[in-house]
Amino acid sequence: MMIKGPSRKQVIIPMNSINCNRFIVLSNKHVANINKKLKNIKSDIMANFIRADHRGLVITTNKTVFTLNLNTIKRYIKNINSNEVMSPKLL
């Protein structure tokens, strides 16, 4: 089976390493909560996992993320960790 292009998309949320580490400690809980928020807006996108990177948090999703989904993820992360969270970006 061949796949054209990437099968997953990543959302990068720039933040400093201290805040990333605090967020990663409970990453399983955060993935579940992000998925619940996405389901509430009737999105078929799901977050698979979260990891820390030199750029910030990287959230891997099952499909391409659209603006409404990005805003939902951004609002959730700002509610949890409002310090120095910038706008999410797609990779």
Q: What angle do CA 50, 56, 58 make, to 5 degrees?
A: 30
Q: What is the mean pLDDT of residues 8-32?
A: 85
pLDDT tens digits, residue range 25-72? 888 999 999 999 999 999 899 999 898 888 888 888 888 888 888 888
Buried b (16+ CB within 10 A) or exposed e, 71-91: ebbbebbeebbeeebeebeee
Mean pLDDT of 1-20: 70
pLDDT of the residue at 35: 93
What pTM does this model have? 0.78
Decide if pLDDT at 90 tops 70.
no
Domains of the chain (ranges; CATH) run 9-90 (3.30.70)
Strands 9-14 and 89-90: antiparallel
